[in-house]
Structure 1
Amino acid sequence: MAFINHFEEDEVEQEYIRSERQSRLYSTRAVIVIGPLIFLGFFMLTPVFSSNEAFAIFNITTVVTVAFFATIMFVTGTRHYIEKTWLDVLPFICLSIAAAVLMTVLVRTVDPEQLDLTKISVIFFGLIYFIASVLFVANVRLFMIWAIGLLGVFFVYMETHGISIDEMYHSVVNIGFFLLFAIFSNWEVDRRAREMFVSRQQLDLERKKTEKLLYNVLPQQVAKRLRAGEVVADSFSDISVVFIDIVGFSKLSKQLSPGHLVEQLNGFFLIADQCANRHGIEKVKTIGDCYLAVSGGTTSNGPGAKEAVNFAIDVIAEMQNRAAESGIDIQLRVGVHSGPVVGGVVGTNRLAYDYWGDTMNIASRIEGAAEPNGIAVSAATYFQCANSHKFGSPETIPLKGVGDTTIYRLKPAMEER
C-alpha cells in the first residue's frame, strides 16, 4: 500500500475528499479560531517583546492575521473550500509570513544575548505543525510538501542570518520531531477516515440492495412506513380487483415436463407483469397459476375499472401471441370486480402487502364464470366502464359463497365492430 493513500478511481477520491472535508468542517473552523489565538498569545507572552517598535509591529501583524483568518473562516462556508484542497495552505502561509516578520523584529530590536532563537523557533514550529496537522483535511500530500518546505525555508533563514551551526542543528533536530509527529498524525487520521469512508460505502451499498429487495416485495410507501415502525393497515372504498387464471392448468401440467411447465408459467407471469406496468396496475401476488392484481391500490392509478379491463385485454392478447409462437395454446380466464377492500401487512416473515374483503372473493368467483380467453365483470365494474367497452347482456349466475350475482361478459374485439 502506498504511504500516501489514494483511491484508484478519481471519482471515488473526489467523493471521499468532499465527504471528509464536509464532515470535519466544524472542527476545522474551531481550529481556525483557536490557532491564531495560540500563535498570537505565544508572541504576546514572549518577554523580549517589550520595545515600542516591536510592540507596534506586533499589533499591526495581529490585525492583519485576524483579518486574514476571518476571510479563511468565510471561505470554509463556500463550496470552494470543499472542492479545492490547495486552499488549506493559505492560512499557514499567512502564519509563516507573520512569524517571519515578528522574528525579524525580534532579531533587530532585541539584544542577541536575551534572544534564544532556538527555543522560540522550536515552540513556534511545534504549535504551527500541530495546528496544520488538523487543518489539512484529506490532504496528506500537500501537508507534507508544505511542512518540509517550511522547515527548509527556516533553515535558509537561519543560514542567512548568521545563526551558529550548533543552534541550527539543535533547532532542526527538535523541529524535526514535531514534523514527524505531525506528518504521522495527519496521515493516520486520513488513513482511518478512508477506511471509514469505504465502510460507509459498503454499508450504503448493502442498504440500497436491501431497499431494492424490499421494494420488490412491497410498495415503496408501504416499505417506508414499515421502516418507520408503523402498523400498515389501509381501507380502500373503491378498488377494481383482477383475477387471471390459466384454463385447464391441471391438464396442461400432465402434458408438459416440469421444466417446460415452469417455463410456460413464468412466461405468463412475465407478460402479466409487463402489462401491469403499462397500465398502472398493482400486482398483488401469484397463487399457483393465478395472477392477482388491483387497480386503485397503494401504487396503482385511480379507482381504475377501465384500466383493469384494459389490462386484462392486453394480457389475453399477449398470451395469444405467445401461444401462436410457441405452439402451446394457453388460454386465460379473467374476473374483475370493484368495491371496498382492506389492505395491509401482517406477520414478520416473508412480508407482503395483501388485500382482504368480500370484493376479493367475488372477483375470484367471477373469474371462474368467465369463458376461455374471456373477461367477466361484476355490475359494479360494468357501470364504471360501460361507456368505454362493449359488454354482452347481463347474466345472473349463482356463485359459491356469494349467491346469485349479475355479471357482464366483455365482447371480443371482432364482435364490438
Structure 2
Amino acid sequence: MVSQTRRAALIGWINRAPPGSSSEMRRAYGLARAGFPIGLFSHGSFIFLFWYADQPVMAVFNIFSTVLIGFGCWAALTLRDIKWPTLLTFLCEIPAHAAFCTYYMGLAPFFLSYLFIPILLFPMLPYGQPLTRLLLSALCAMAFVAMGVYGTLSAPVRPLTHGWTLFFFVFNTAPIIPMLGVFAALYATAATRAEREMEQEYERAENLLLNILPEPIAARLKDDPHLIADEHPSVSVLFADIVNFTETSGRLTPPEIVQTLNAAFSRFDTLVEKHGCEKIKTIGDAYMVVAGLPEPREDHAQAMVSLALDMIDAAQEINESGQFPFSMRIGISSGPVVAGVIGERKFAYDLWGDTVNVASRMESHGRPGIIQITEATRGHLGDEVQIDPLGDVEIKGKGRMRTYTVSRGFAP
C-alpha cells in the first residue's frame, strides 16, 4: 500500500504541468523533469572529468552546456516554459557535444550515444507539426551517421589513454540505456492511460447511446450516419399516463416530483426490458412503448399486454405504499408504423402513423386502472388474458371505434 502511494506520488510529480496544459505538454514536462536533472549531473561531471583527462576545450564547452541544461532543469521543476531549453538542448547542445567529442577523442568513448536522445524523442515532443518533428529526428540520425563515418576514417585530435577511453565508454553508455528506458516508460504509461481512458469514454458513450436508441438502430447509425426511416407493418404501441398527476404534484416540491417520476419510470423500464419491448420516450408523466421493432416479432400484442398488466400491478404497489396516490391509464393499439431517427444533435428515435395516434387516444379516453385496447390488438391476442368489451368510443379523426379491456385470467 505504501509503495503504491509512493509510486502514485512519483507519477503525479513527474506529470505536473502548468494549469490548462494538454496531455502532450504534460508528457513533455515529465520528460524534462526526468531528463534535465540527469543531464545536469552528467555535464557537470564532464567539466571535471574532461579537465583531468587533458581535454580543456571540452571542459570549457561543458560549462556552457551545464548552464543551458541547468536553466532547463529550473524551468521544468518550477513549471516555466521548457520549449526553448528543450529545443536548444536537442538541436544544438547534444549534436555539438557529440561532434566535438568525436573530433577530439574519437569514436571509442561513444559520445555519439547521446544523439539517440533527440533521434528517439523528437517525434514525441509537442513542438511543431508531426512531420517537422520527424524531419528533425531524421536530421539528427544523419548527423549520427556522418559523425560515425568521420570518426571511422579520421584519427582523434587529442586521443585518450586506454583507461580514460574505457571509463568514458562506460560513463556514456551506462546511463543512456536506462535513461531512454525511463523516457519510453513515461510515454508507454501515458499511452496506456490514454487508451484506458478512451476505452472508458467509449463505453460510457456506448451505454449513453443505447439508453437513447435501440441497439440495432445505434449500430446502423454508427456505421452509416444518414437518415434512418423504416416501415414496420405490424407492431403494438402503448401509451401510459398517471391519472391526475398535474393536480396531485402541486402538493410536492420539484425534487419530490422528479424523484416520484424517476422511481415509477425506472420500475417501468425494468418491466419493458423483461418483456422484450422498446421504450420510445417519456412526455411529462406519459410513457410510450412499442413491441415488434426494431426486430419484428409475431407476439408483439401479447408482449405488450403482458407489460401493461405488470405496469398496472406496479402502479397499484406504488399507490399502496402511500407515497403518492398513483393510478394509471393505459391504451394499446396495433398496426403499421414508421420508425426513424430525427435530429442531428439531440437526436431521438420516434414513431409515426395512425397506430400511434390511436394508441394515444386509447389512453386519453380510458379510465384509471384500465388497459384499453383496439379491435386490431384484440385480433392478435389468444386466450392468455381475459378480454371484455368496453363499447364504442368516439375517436377524433377516426369516428366511433370498438374497444376492449384486458385483465389477467382466461377468456371463457
- Asked if Structure 1 and Structure 2 have the same fold, meaning a TM-score greater than 0.5 normalized by the shorter chain, the answer is yes
Query: Within the alignment, does 1:358 sit opposite 2:354 as a pair?
Result: yes
Specify the alignment match of 1:251 in structure 2. 247
Q: Give yes or no for the alignment of 1:266 onto 2:262.
A: yes
Unpaired segments of 5 or more residues in structure 1? 1-5, 9-117, 135-164
Please name the residue that 1:329 is paired with: 325
- Which amino acid counterpart does residue 217 of structure 1 have in structure 2? I
> Quick one: distance in 1 between partners of 2:222 and 2:255?
38
Q: Kindly state the Cα deviation for residue 220 of structure 1 after the two structures are TM-superposed.
A: 2.6
Partner of residue 41, structure 1: none
Residue of structure 2 equivalent to 1:210 = 205
- Give the deviation of 1:294 after TM superposition: 0.6
Query: Hey, what's the Cα distance between the residues in 2 that align with 1:354 and 1:309?
Result: 21
2-structure distance, mates of 1:191, 1:256: 55
- Is the alpha carbon distance of 1:238 and 1:7 closer, same or farther for their aligned partners in structure 2, counting shifts above 3 Å? farther
Letter in 2 for 1:272: F
Distance 1:267 1:205, change over 3 A: closer
TM-score (norm 1): 0.57
CA RMSD of aligned residues (A): 3.2
What's 2:172 paired with?
A: 177
> Take 1:189 and 1:256, find their aligned partners in 2: how far apart are those partners?
60
Equivalent residue for 1:309, pick from 291, 305, 311: 305
What is the alpha-carbon distance in structure 2 between the residues aligned to residue 216 and residue 239 of structure 1? Answer: 21
2:276 is the alignment partner of 1:297: no
In 2, Cα distance between equivalents of 1:230 and 1:318: 39
Residue aligned with 2:260, SS:
helix
Fraction of identical pairs, as percent: 29
| Structure 1 residues 190 and 250, CA gap change in structure 2 (3 angstroms) | closer
- Contact 1:365/1:399 (CA < 8 Å) preserved in 2? yes
Residue equivalent to 2:366: 370
SS of 2:347 mapped into structure 1: coil
In the TM superposition, residue 298 of structure 1 has moved relative to its aligned partner by: 2.3
Q: How far apart are 1:362 and its partner, in Å?
A: 0.7
Q: 2:183 aligns with which of 185, 188, 192?
A: 188
Deviations, residues 111-146 of structure 1 (Å, cap 9, x unaligned): xxxxxxx999868x999xx8xx99xxxxxxxxxxxx
The match for 1:109 is none
Query: 1:172/1:255 Cα in 2 relative to 1: closer, same or farther (>3 Å)?
Result: closer
Maintained 8 Å contact 2:378/2:404: yes
Matched residues in 1 for 2:214 and 2:7: separation? 37
Residue 226 (structure 1) aligned with residue 226 (structure 2): no
Partners of 1:258 and 1:227 lie apart in 2 by 37
Matched residue type, 1:376:
Q
SS in 2 for 1:243: strand
Match of 1:402 in 2: 398
Query: Offset at 1:258?
Result: 4.2
CA contact (8 A) 2:214 2:278 kept: no
Shift of 1:275: 1.4
AA paired with 1:218?
Answer: L
| In 2: Cα distance, 1:247 partner to 1:393 partner | 22
8 Å CA contact 1:239, 1:303 repeated in 2: no
2:7 and 2:353 map into 1 onto residues whose CA distance is: 56
TM value normalised by structure 2: 0.57
> 1:126-165 to 2 correspondence within 5 Å?
none
Asked if 1:199 is matched to 2:194, the reply is: yes
C-alpha spacing 1:416/1:331, structure 2 compared with 1 (3 Å)? farther
Query: 2:276 maps to what in 1?
Result: 280
Corresponding residue SS for 1:320: helix
**Aligned AA for 1:298?**
P
Question: 1 CA distance for matches of 2:268 and 2:396?
Answer: 27
| Residue identity opposite 1:199 in structure 2 | A
Look up the SS of the partner of 1:410 in the other structure.
strand
The equivalent of 1:92 in structure 2 is none
The alignment partner of 1:326 has SS state of coil
Q: Deviations along 1:11-41, whole A, 9 cap, x unmatched?
A: xxxxxxxxxxxxxxxxxxxxxxxxxxxxxxx
The amino acid that maps onto 2:203 is K
The answer to whether the Cα contact below 8 Å between 2:243 and 2:326 also exists between their aligned partners in 1 is yes
- Unmatched runs of 5 consecutive residues or more in structure 2: 1-5, 9-104, 121-159
* Stretches (4+) displaced over 6 A: 118-123
Closer, same or farther: CA 271–188 of 1 in aligned 2, 3 Å: closer
Contact 1:241–1:359 (8 Å) recurs in 2: yes
In structure 2, relative to structure 1, the CA distance for the partners of 1:186 and 1:266 (3 Å cut) is: closer
1-structure distance, mates of 2:294, 2:408: 31
- SS of the aligned residue for 1:376 comes to strand
Question: 2:109, 2:168 within 8 Å by CA — same for their partners in 1?
Answer: no
Verify the 8 A CA contact 2:385 2:408 in the aligned structure 1.
no
